[in-house]
Amino acid sequence: MLAAVLVALGSLATALVFAIGLRAARTRVIALCGLASVGCALGASGWWAASGASELATRIALSTLSIAGGLAHGVVFSIAALPKAKTWTRLVLVPLGMWTGTFTAMWFAVPAAGSFLGWTIVLLASGTLTAWCLLPFWSHERGFVLQGERRIPSVRFPCPRCGTRVDWARGVMACTDCGLFVHIDWPADELHAAEGHPVILRPRRAVRFACPECSREGEWPCGDSACAGCGLKVSMHWNVHRHV
């Protein structure tokens, strides 16, 4: 009974990840598949509890939870903020965790799984675990981006086009993953006073990040705006041709 409840809780935890993944264009499909497996895992854990731990219900619940876990890993590693030089690691790290989930699901599904499968899972799982240990260091928000020797102040928010978390340097910078150019400037008092401002691009979209001056979290629209806390003027533009 307790184990069935733990599986249900685990499924709900991955569902939170999928809710975030749904908002990013690049992980929408994985998140939808993930939600489907969460539904199966929740149903099977209910059956597990109701059936008094029938073997079939147990196997289905653990397999679908493993698949959901692998897909949740895929979402996290697809949209986590990584420095430009490390974005290629997604090609390895995203499938690594998804394979771990799939092979673990096979382990639970096949009644007499061999030791080959067992060792494959141990190998994949240790790689996945290492990736999770590295992630906090790699995606730590430092408040600046290195360009050569220079430290350019940055703010972090999801790319308006692909949804990946990016540390956007002050000035013009391309998304580390899809290449969308975002122009962001602060303090932008002069820009705001200039002819032609405020420039509002349609559709008027906003992104969320902490004010680079006073660290107050807020919504910043595409165009010109000012911090509600300290009044810092920020100018931000991007041009998404394909509205997502």
Residues near Zn ion, by CB under 5 A:
159, 161-162, 175, 177-178, 180, 211, 213-214, 216, 227, 229-230, 232
Based on CB atoms, which residue is closest to Zn ion, 72 or 162? 162
Closest alpha carbon to 31 in 42, 17, 41: 17
Cis-peptide into 198, omega within 30 deg? yes
Q: Give CB contacts under 8 A, 24+ apart, made by 49-55.
A: 49/1, 49/4, 49/5, 53/1, 53/3, 53/4
41 or 227, CB closer to Zn ion?
Answer: 227
Nearer residue to Zn ion within complex by CB, 178 or 201: 178
CB of 78 to Zn ion, least distance (A): 11
Provide the minimum distance between the beta carbon of 93 and Zn ion in the complex, in angstroms, as a whole number: 18
Measured from the CB atom, the residue of 73 and 161 that comes closer to Zn ion is: 161
Q: Shortest gap between Cβ of 230 and Zn ion (angstroms)?
A: 3
Q: Which two tokens stand for residue 195?
A: 């002819």
Radius of gyration of the CA atoms of the chain, in A? 22
| Contact present, 168 and 155 (Cβ < 8 Å) | yes
Q: How far is the CB of 8 from Zn ion (least distance, A)?
A: 35
